[in-house]
Amino acid sequence: MPRHIVCLTFDFDTQSGFIARGMTTPTPLSRGEFGAMASGRILSLLKERGIRATWFVPGFTIESWPKESAAVVAGGHEIGHHSWAHIPPANQTRAEEEADLIRANDNIARLTGRKARGYRSPSWDLSEHTIDLLIQHGFLYDTSLMGTDYIPYRARRGDVAELGKPFKFGEPTALIEMPISWSLDDYPHFEFVRTPTTVLPGLQPARAVMQSWLDEFLYMKKTVDWGVLTYTMHPYVIGRGYRMLALEGLLTELANNGAVFVTMEQAAEEAKAKLFS
């Protein structure tokens, strides 16, 4: 019987991403702070629709916004690992990456009673050590790579990419990869960011973006009998009023078209049993 899964995921960064990029003046920090406020309206919407989601919460947010983080757990949602300080692993040494991973996992364990089973890297940029570290620390899945769209796959380690030479594929691991895409992330569509060197224009019409997101689900439904589609959102981005209204419309259309909403952990367990047992 066909089954088409949707995972709603929220990267609860608050100010961490701005701090990691050196944007520590009051206005960018206040943009992150908006996410702490907006998390409440997102939780209310999820409760109203009876949807359990996955929140990737940096240790920074757990320590800086304890009440808001606890509210996510109280809502019945999965807490995934999203680093402590929102520094991309590709910018860290192995020792720095592991220390950050352990520190954030300790925060998650104190918040939820157990360590995270899923991982999402800050800025979706893994290091050559990340897969090994996730396996070493007992993770079930990663959701940072883009090798497929609807079908989870085994994350590999040891790939070799050298200019002028054929690509060498590494070995598949037991870590399940739950694929993502920048096109299904609210940040590049909506956020306006101006720095001395770049401008990210964002500010796209919310309903147009939600229509594209719905079309992605409809294509999955058309082309595969079983699949998982992951949407990535940030409370300080999607939490703006007019975007929330557009999101409400998307959730209605997804439900009307047979979407099954589950956490990423549930989807990864289902993929493990269906594809890799």
pLDDT of res. 195:
78
User: Averaged over 238-265, what is the pLDDT?
Assistant: 98
CA neighbours closer than 13 Å in the CB half-sphere of residue 106: 8
Per-residue pLDDT reduced to its tens digit, 204-217: 999 999 999 999 99
Closest CA to 224 of 148, 171, 166: 148
pLDDT class of 1 with cuts at 50, 70, 90: confident
User: Averaged over 22-35, what is the pLDDT?
Assistant: 95
pLDDT exceeds 80 at position 230: yes
Per-residue pLDDT reduced to its tens digit, 95-112: 999 999 999 999 999 999
75: left (phi over 0), alpha (psi -120 to 50) or beta: alpha
Closest CA to 110 of 66, 55, 52, 53: 66
CATH number for the domain harbouring residue 212: 3.20.20.370
pLDDT of res. 116:
98
Per-residue pLDDT reduced to its tens digit, 32-60: 999 999 999 999 999 999 999 999 999 99
pLDDT of res. 199:
85
User: Averaged over 124-141, what is the pLDDT?
Assistant: 97
How many domains is the chain partitioned into structurally? 1
Per-residue pLDDT reduced to its tens digit, 154-198: 999 999 999 999 999 999 999 999 999 999 999 999 999 887 788
Percent pLDDT > 90 in the chain is 96
Q: Is 260 helix (H, G, I), strand (E, B) or coil?
A: strand
pLDDT class of 26 with cuts at 50, 70, 90: very high
User: Averaged over 52-74, what is the pLDDT?
Assistant: 98
Residues with Cβ within 8 Å of residue 249, at least 6 apart in sequence: 207, 210
Least trusted range by pLDDT, from 51-55, 248-252, 273-277: 273-277
pLDDT of res. 262:
98
pLDDT class of 139 with cuts at 50, 70, 90: very high
User: Averaged over 107-130, what is the pLDDT?
Assistant: 97
Q: Vertex 65, ends 6 and 141: CA angle to 5°? A: 35
Q: Which domain holds residue 266?
A: 3-275
pLDDT of res. 200:
86
Percent pLDDT > 70 in the chain is 100
